[in-house]
Amino acid sequence: MSDELIAASNLISLLIEAQEDALATIKAGNKPESELRLQLLGAKSELTRLTRQIGRVPKEERQKIGPVVTEIKRSIEDALNAIATDAPPKNSDWVDVTTPGIRPPEGHLHIVSQAIMEVTRIFERIGFTRVRHPEVDWDWYPFESLNMPAHHPARDEWETFFLEYPGKPGKDPHKQKIVLTPHTSNGQVREMEKGKLPIRMINIAKCYRRQIDVSHTPMFHQFEGLYIDKDVSIGHLKGVFDHFVKQFFGPNRETRLRPFHFQFTEPSFEVDINCGICLGTGNLANGSPCKLCKAGWLELGGSGMVHPVVLRNGGIDPDIYSGFAFGWGIERTYMMKSGTKLDDIRLLYSNDVRFLEQF
Ligand SMILES: [Zn+2]
């Protein structure tokens, strides 16, 4: 090492140059922080080499240098601390091929969509075709065409949303009021109006009713079946239901028909399915009564033979053709299948991933 004296100002210039180089090296980000620390502040670093030169500065000037060195070291320390993480350096060619990949979160179809697809497939196998009809419709289709004239008390059950008609309604008596369809049965006369027979439709759509509590949501889904041809009987209806429940719920499930009343079917039935827990006996193996069902049966939904008035409203001669229809809730049917007991059905539409990812 030379013993020649050097001016303090020269050494300070060299120190500042070294600081700039060090900060640029850190910024380039090509090396991990620990390696940079050794390179820039270690015993073999340029900074350390320069600080050893302080002894060559004339004694009276040395005091100027101390604070500069302190400041430079602090700025380099700060820059190193700022990049101190375990992450690999940026912009480098460094690749650790043994690092496990990061799997992006994977979604799935909503359980209602899954149920709709499954129901559709089961009916398609026996010749039904899925169709779509309006969810916002003239009052005529869900009510009047189905044998429920204005002011008929049977309408009360449907808790319907009526919409403002934009502008003035025309003269057509079937196009006066607009509703959010409270059931998928609005598709019955619409399907008949297409004028093609026989009809084997499955109409799955959203329905709307003014109800919200733990067992009702203002929007829900129904599937509606309609079969119209010559000589269609209750035997066909029973056969289709048996096919559906065996496919959807399992081979040892059966249906029964209970007489009921609907305005748009005659005769009308409620369809029951035997309980999956006690298999229709009403009792468990240990003799205690089954808590899931009523005496071995659970209610699935409504059905019946299409009323002659409805056929006529759809332009079909009831003396030649007959048919059956049924309309069941998707949510309810799916819950019965999976055995899911929901304390609050509104969870289905709360978009809470913690709930949805269970299915
Ligand atoms: Zn039971």
Ligand 1 mean position, distance from CA 220 (Å): 26
In which band, very low, low, confident or very high, does the pLDDT at 91 lie, cut at 50, 70 and 90? low
| Overall average pLDDT of the 133-158 stretch | 89
Total-model pTM: 0.69
Ligand 1 mean position, distance from CA 137 (Å): 40
The whole-number pLDDT of residue 228 equals 97
Ligand 1 mean position, distance from CA 349 (Å): 29
Ligand 1 mean position, distance from CA 274 (Å): 7
Residue 149 preceded by cis peptide, ω within 30: no
Which of 318, 305, 229, 297 is closest to 260 using CA atoms? Answer: 305
As a whole-number percent, the residues of the chain with pLDDT over 70 amount to 96
What CATH fold (topology level) applies to the domain 111-356? BirA Bifunctional Protein; domain 2 (3.30.930)
Ligand 1 mean position, distance from CA 277 (Å): 5
In which band, very low, low, confident or very high, does the pLDDT at 154 lie, cut at 50, 70 and 90? confident
Residue 335 burial (C-beta neighbours within 10 Å; 0-12, 13-18, 19+): middle
Cβ proximity of 305 and 237 under 8 Å: yes
Ligand 1 mean position, distance from CA 168 (Å): 54
- Please compute, for residue 62, the number of CA atoms within 13 A of its CA located in the half-sphere on the CB side: 11
Ligand 1 mean position, distance from CA 285 (Å): 11
Ligand 1 mean position, distance from CA 247 (Å): 20
Ligand 1 mean position, distance from CA 99 (Å): 53
Ligand 1 mean position, distance from CA 298 (Å): 8
Residues 6+ apart with CB under 8 A from 227: 128, 198, 199, 200, 236, 237, 240, 323, 324, 325
In which band, very low, low, confident or very high, does the pLDDT at 128 lie, cut at 50, 70 and 90? very high
| Residues, beta carbon < 5 Å, ion ligand 1 | 275, 277-278, 290, 292-293
Q: What is the mean pLDDT of the chain?
A: 89
| Overall average pLDDT of the 119-144 stretch | 95
Ligand 1 mean position, distance from CA 251 (Å): 16
In which band, very low, low, confident or very high, does the pLDDT at 199 lie, cut at 50, 70 and 90? very high
pLDDT tens-place string over residues 12-56: 899 999 999 999 998 887 888 888 889 999 999 999 999 998 888
Q: How far apart are CA 189 and CA 194, in angstroms?
A: 9
Pairing mode, strands 297-306 and 265-274: antiparallel
From 7-16, 47-56, 186-195, 339-348, the region with the lowest mean pLDDT: 339-348
Question: Is residue 129 over pLDDT 90?
Answer: yes
Question: Is residue 310 over pLDDT 90?
Answer: yes
Ligand 1 mean position, distance from CA 268 (Å): 25
Q: How far apart are CA 329 and CA 345, in angstroms?
A: 12
Question: Is residue 74 over pLDDT 70?
Answer: yes
Cα 13 to chain center, whole Å? 65
Ligand 1 mean position, distance from CA 356 (Å): 27
The whole-number pLDDT of residue 92 equals 61
Ligand 1 mean position, distance from CA 174 (Å): 46
Based on its alpha-carbon atoms, the radius of gyration of the chain, rounded to whole angstroms, reads: 39
According to the per-residue pLDDT averaged within each range, which of 4-8, 173-177, 243-247 is highest? 243-247
Where are the domains positioned within the chain?
8-83, 111-356
In which band, very low, low, confident or very high, does the pLDDT at 293 lie, cut at 50, 70 and 90? confident
**Token pair in block for residue 25:** 């090296």
Ligand 1 mean position, distance from CA 292 (Å): 5
Ligand 1 mean position, distance from CA 303 (Å): 23
Ligand 1 mean position, distance from CA 223 (Å): 25
| 3 state DSSP class of 55 | helix
In which band, very low, low, confident or very high, does the pLDDT at 88 lie, cut at 50, 70 and 90? low
More confident residue, 347 or 309: 309
Ligand 1 mean position, distance from CA 346 (Å): 25
Q: How far apart are CA 303 and CA 270, in angstroms?
A: 6
